Chain A
């Protein structure tokens, strides 16, 4: 069966520090991968998605970047965190190859709660 792992579960970082959040998927090949941010009481905001190794699409201009160095690894990074980067970050995957789109369910990790001080 497929599983998705995200770590760490919680993170407290000072303003201006770097960030690296990692997400790995097991049990599937060539998945579509996603990074979302969820603010309290609001919907999930898509930050980045990837349909293959090295292929990253950014949805909103921001202080963050994403990379996909391996088929089932997705990394969210920042060189210098801002207070506004606080939030709940979620990684998700969906079946690839059949076409990127909403006709496939997305499967989420348990998220990282990021607090910037």
Chain B
């Protein structure tokens, strides 16, 4: 069956450290993968999109990697800040009509 898996346990890190979030998928062959941030009670906000032929994408303190062999994307936040605390969702091309399929998200808590 098709699955998108993100760490269900919250990630707690210290301010200034690098946070690394994982998105693994099974039985998908996405041409694109996206990452979103969601704050409590709000809608997700788009952060980054990475294509299958791109190994890495950066935007300010954010970095995303996409390994189609491992079927995995890693999302890094360097020099993390308490304001980075949120839920981070990965989403990928579902294949059937090119719809986006979302993971359940990982909660990130950055402590000062």
Contact = CB atoms under 8 A, between A and B. Distances in A.
B49 A111 contact: no
Interface of B: 4, 8, 30-32, 34, 41-46, 49, 51, 89, 91-94, 97-105
Nearest to A90: B43
Contact of B41 (A92, A99, A105, A111): A111
B41 to A, nearest CB: 7
Given A102-B34, A102-B91, A107 B100 contact: no
Given A6-B43, A42-B104, A106-B44, 7 more contacts: A41-B8, A46-B101, A102-B32, A103-B32, A106-B46, A110-B43, A113-B41
A44 B89 contact: yes
Contact of B98 (A44, A100, A108): A100
Given A42-B104, A44-B102, A49-B99, A102 B30 contact: yes
